[in-house]
Chain A
Amino acid sequence: MHITEGIITGTPAVLYTCAGLALVGYGTTKMNAFVKSYPEKRPLLGMAGALIFFISLIPLPAFTGTCSHPCATPFIAILFGPAITIALTGGSLLLQAAFFAHGGFGTWGANVVALGLFGSLAGWGAFYFSRKIGVSLWAAGFAAGLIGDVVVYMASGVILAGELAHAPTPQYSFSGYLIVIYAAYLPTQLPIAIGEMIITGLALHNIQQQRPEVLVDLGVIKCGSERSGKATRIAGFILLLAGTLFLWSGGHVLAASEQGVKGSKKNFSQMLAAKAPNSYSGMDEAINEKLAENAGLEPKDPLINIESMGDLWNALLLFAGGVCGFILGRWWHLISKKRS
């Protein structure tokens, strides 16, 4: 999840760029130390740069019918460590901005923080914690992929919400924007997080099956057989999954419980909490009507009044929408004359 160019401006942009530079600088010193200790592995860093670039461009299918890309930083952090991964992410983001029109220079620092720092630290941390408590390699990879991706998504959301909440004349507070951003990206990011979880775990498992010496050489596993203790592993894995879900919902809870309402800005959670006149009222009555009243707008009849059309018309409308969606999904490539 890249933060798009042009969103972050002013002092935050400068601060994020400085943070990005400092992080990449720190990663580079670690790379130098690595090269000094293992001069024979110098080209490995270059190949790691190619890998991080490549994995972040692997198309992953999402349940919504779209495709998007994994973060790659959790997996690379498992193989090469978080500090080196941060530096490589910085380089990779520069290349992506310059030659592949992904991200941009203005949001480079923010992307280094979200993808590099949070992605690699969360992925690496989850992996090593899992291994420490005796979880098998594939399960630890699952945990790293999932938690790393979710944390990148959450960090990007926080960065974006922080920026939007400080823009002139905002509609919502920080927490309001946070919920809007999380809700807007949830349909694509959740399947991608699951996809990243599976491919990270499977890739580690397959490498271990084929060439365990490579993982030993990279310091991912130690020589000798895998530890036993199935029950502990399963318990640990469930604990990690639960932790991820906690992190996931925690973001929403935190956002919802945020109390800082400034001026006329509306906290989304407060709007949700505002009880409707009767317990069967929906979104329109509880939120939109209130918003319209506050903005001084009078209620109008909807363009398509589904309530007055009757069930048959509604069913036909639904069916027509489904057919159009199918046609567009099946033959969309004819528009661009290309099938990817």
Chain B
Amino acid sequence: MPNTINAHIQDYHESGASNGFHCLDARLKLVLLVMAVALNIYFAKLWLSLFLLVAGTSLAVWSRIPVRLFLIFFIIPAWSTLVIVVGFTAGFGSTSLFVLGPVTFYKEGFNLGLAAAARIGCDISWMAAVFLTTPFNTLLKALKWFRVPDVLLESIAMGFRYISLVMKEFNTMKNSARTRGGLQSYKHTLQSTGKILAQVVLRAYDRAVRIQEAMISRGAYSSIINSKDIESVDSGVEECPNQCDVTPEYMDPHAPVVSCSNIAYTYGAEATLHDISFTVERNEVVVLCGPNGAGKTTLLKLLSGILTPTSGDIYLEGEHLDRKIRNQIFRHVGLLCQDPNDQLFCTHVREDVSYGPTNLNLPSESVEQLVNTAMELMEVSDLADRPIHRLSYGQMKRVGLAGLIAMKPPLLLLDEPSANLDPASTHQLIHHLRHLNSHHGYTLIIVTHDMNLAAQIANRIVILDEGKIVADSMAREILTDEKLLEKSRLEPPILTKMFQRLLNHPVDRREIPLTIDEALAFFDGKIKRPKD
């Protein structure tokens, strides 16, 4: 039931109603709410409670809040209100009203119960009127204006953002326990609940660590003095047909975007990465692939400054990635996490997209312009006022990307961007990534197991295995080398595999189509030559 109420409130907020109380400033609404509750509770007079109840209901009517929605607020307190009325009637007074068996009901008690019920009705009507007409993010802003400490507001906002996710995880595990007989008795239920609760706490702990990483990569702890100290350089790419101003600004147009030399990373006693050296040039799309545990995500974390290499050096746009650059890493790199729930930690879409640009200390107009452009480009403008926990996975990925490009870092690191996406969402994502690369000049490093995605988007593929680079070549070279892929527990795209069989392993691998377009061209007798 509580979740149902919350869902109804969210649906109503998204309906965009703008009548009556909706238009009033949230701060004023909060003041009115506090005053109404204070008067109601302090004086505790029946006539005052009834008057305030009528006032609260009138506000709801004025705001054209649907009756059903307004009444939902009264359902949960209804039972306790009945208990209060009966309890007061039986527990207070001297003038008998009626007798039911051994219990006598008194007139004075009934009056007290009625007054208590009126108080409850009054408070609920005001809460319904205020919270149905004010989205949660607006309430938080109003509370911030009243100088409620940031740390408390942050924890309330995060509680609101992640409660549904925590509940979902709990219910999924509970259903899993149910299907395996874990809830068949009181004893089993308590045992299973204890186990599941431990998992929920551990996942929350891990998520907090990942959120911290996402916050750092989006400039949470930066100390920017001048936001315009980067020299804007012409990106030299096709102009965006939408004239979007989210093209990144490269600090040094001649330096490679990423340059790693002999980097190694050791976790505990085990070396996760060793002797990694590679360079990524401007506008390249590099796909990092390899079996599970090869060190791909660790490499992304090293490039995004979350981890520090045990040895070796990383250069971003010619600058050595040291402590100073690490504090300003978001100028160079944007990291899209594998699970968008780790990336999107604000309550609503607009808040989350504006989180990064706000950390850049830009003027509010610029922030708003960047946020609007980024949301438009990623096709999430219509979701701007939706709470994050009500987005689909694909929508979350696009909101995550919008949050990154609103900061305009030249290099985007994408960790498994197509994981858990349906085919339509994957296509949409590929379209957006291509657009960002070809029209805005973003350099992309993508970690994926999805060879179809690699075939459609990659210029170059790097294969990691057991912490080492085992292959680094153009996409076609890698994707048509079945033996190499097999050795790294990977598979070529299904189309490529089929043509390899069809052409009986041709010597010239450039003949093998990687995509549907190339396959069609092949059948037309016009094999597309690779870009290289």
Contact = CB atoms under 8 A, between A and B. Distances in A.
Contact of B155 (A46, A55, A96): A46
Nearest to A191: B186
Contact of A28 (B151, B158, B189, B212): B151
Contact of A54 (B77, B92, B167): B167
A199 B156 contact: no
Query: Of B104, B149, B205, B345, which is in contact with the most chain A CB atoms at under 10 Å from its CB?
Result: B205
Given A5-B119, A50-B166, A101-B2, A31 B200 contact: no
Contact of B221 (A39, A100, A214): A39
A288 B90 CA distance: 13
A207 to B, nearest CB: 5
Which applies to chain B's interface (DSSP): helix, strand, loop or mixed? Answer: helix
Contacts of B190: 60-61, 195, 198-199, 202
B201 A297 contact: no
Interface string A184-195: 000000000001
Query: Of A11, A61, A63, which is in contact with the most chain B CB atoms at under 10 Å from its CB?
Result: A61
A216 to B, nearest CB: 12
Nearest to B190: A198
B37 A99 contact: no
A31 B161 CA distance: 19
Given A43-B345, A95-B156, A211 B163 contact: no
Contacts of B152: 24, 28, 31, 87, 90-91
A67 to B, nearest CB: 10
B276 interface: no
Contacts of A292: 104
B237 interface: no
A39 B149 CA distance: 16
Given A106-B37, A202-B190, A214 B205 contact: yes
Contact of B41 (A9, A28, A100, A168): A9
A127 interface: no
Contacts of A291: 104
A23 interface: no
A164 B159 contact: no
Interface residues of A, number: 87
A105 B197 CA distance: 29
A244 interface: no
B94 interface: yes
Interface string B113-136: 000110110011001000100001
A97 B124 CA distance: 9
B92 A105 contact: no
Interface in B169-212: 170, 186, 189-191, 193-195, 197-202, 204-205, 207-209, 211-212
Contacts of A9: 41-42, 44, 119
B256 interface: no
Contact of B151 (A10, A31, A105): A31
Interface in A8-36: 8-11, 13-14, 24, 28, 31-32, 35
Contact of A106 (B41, B81, B149, B221): B41
Contacts of B9: 99
B200 A207 contact: no
Contact of B76 (A7, A41, A102): A102
A91 B198 CA distance: 23
B197 A167 contact: no
A47 B77 contact: no
Contacts of A40: 212
A45 B212 CA distance: 11
B123 A105 contact: yes
A46 B159 contact: yes
Contacts of A51: 166, 200-201, 204
Nearest to B90: A171
A60 B186 CA distance: 9
B260 to A, nearest CB: 25
A303 B102 CA distance: 11
A10 B205 contact: no
A91 B156 contact: yes
A31 B155 contact: yes
Contacts of B93: 169, 171
Q: How large is the interface on B (under 10, 10 to 19, 20 to 34, 35 or more residues)?
A: 35 or more
B77 to A, nearest CB: 6
Contacts of B499: none
B351 to A, nearest CB: 14
B42 A43 contact: no
A136 B102 CA distance: 50
A98 interface: yes
Given A60-B193, A101-B73, A199-B193, A49 B166 contact: no
Contacts of B345: 43, 46
B243 interface: no
A57 B2 contact: yes
A90 B149 CA distance: 13
B127 A199 contact: no
A171 B91 CA distance: 6
A99 B5 contact: yes
A309 B495 CA distance: 86
Nearest to A211: B202
Given A39-B221, A51-B204, A210-B198, A58 B193 contact: yes
A44 B211 CA distance: 9
Contacts of A28: 149, 151-152
Contacts of B77: 4-5, 101, 104
A7 B102 CA distance: 25
Contact of A43 (B131, B193, B200, B208): B208
B6 interface: yes
A42 interface: yes
Contact of B170 (A6, A31, A58, A96): A58
B124 A101 contact: yes
A7 B80 CA distance: 11
A135 to B, nearest CB: 18
A94 interface: yes
A260 B464 CA distance: 80
Contacts of A327: none
Contacts of B120: 4-6, 104
B242 to A, nearest CB: 35
21 contacts: A6-B84, A9-B42, A9-B119, A10-B42, A28-B149, A31-B149, A35-B151, A42-B215, A50-B161, A50-B162, A53-B159, A53-B163, A57-B2, A99-B9, A99-B131, A106-B41, A169-B92, A180-B91, A198-B191, A202-B198, A207-B201
Interface of A: 4-11, 13-14, 24, 28, 31-32, 35, 39-55, 57-58, 60-61, 63, 79, 87-88, 90-92, 94-102, 104-106, 164, 167-172, 177, 180, 195, 198-199, 201-207, 210-211, 214, 218, 284, 288, 291-292, 295, 297, 300, 302-303
Given A49-B155, A57-B167, A58-B193, 16 more contacts: A6-B123, A10-B41, A31-B151, A46-B161, A50-B159, A50-B204, A88-B155, A105-B33, A105-B37, A106-B40, A106-B119, A170-B92, A180-B91, A202-B194, A214-B202, A292-B104
Top 10 closest pairs, chain A to chain B, by CB: A202-B194, A46-B158, A49-B159, A206-B198, A9-B44, A100-B2, A6-B119, A6-B120, A43-B211, A101-B76
